[in-house]
Amino acid sequence: MSMFSFVSHEKFPEDQFTKEIVYLLLEDKYRIAYVRKKMQNGGMFWDVMSIGVSKHGKKHYYKSFMQDSNFLAEDIKDFLEKRKWEKAPQAQQPITQTQPLSYLDSAPDYSQQGLPF
């Protein structure tokens, strides 16, 4: 289950390449920064912060955070691309891609009768 919550968002209209930053809270203990970058050709994309270094005559980029799950990366980028934190008034609530378990809706209500044992 991919679970994360929105923490904050900030825009940087004057910066040539970094246009926005969003902090997300993963597993209620890790704050991860995703940045919206503008490429030289004008294209925009979201990704975690990275550092570029020259190595053996070429530029290499090292990410500050890598997920073990492609599903988590896809869920986060979908959340960011669709700007869901702007649309949902409950933005501080966890964002999940799972559906509630339907059998919980049909569980008997023992609040009036007491427990069955």
114 within domain boundaries:
no
Partners of 62 in the beta sheet?
51
Please give the pLDDT value at position 33.
94
> CB burial class (10 A; 0-12, 13-18, 19+) of residue 46?
middle
Q: Is residue 116 part of a domain?
A: no
pLDDT surpassing 90 at residue 36: yes
pLDDT digits (tens, 9 = 90+) for 38-64: 999 999 999 998 999 999 999 999 998
Q: Which domain holds residue 100?
A: 3-105
Residue 16, classed as helix, strand or coil, is coil
CA separation for the pair 32, 42 (Å, rounded): 25
Q: Is residue 110 part of a domain?
A: no
Residue 15 lies in a domain: yes
Q: What is the mean pLDDT of residues 18-37?
A: 93
Q: Does some domain include residue 85?
A: yes
Is residue 16 one of the residues assigned to a domain? Answer: yes
Residue 71 lies in a domain: yes
Looking at the structure of the chain, the number of domains it has is 1
pTM value is 0.66
- Angstrom distance (rounded) from CA 59 to CA 62: 10
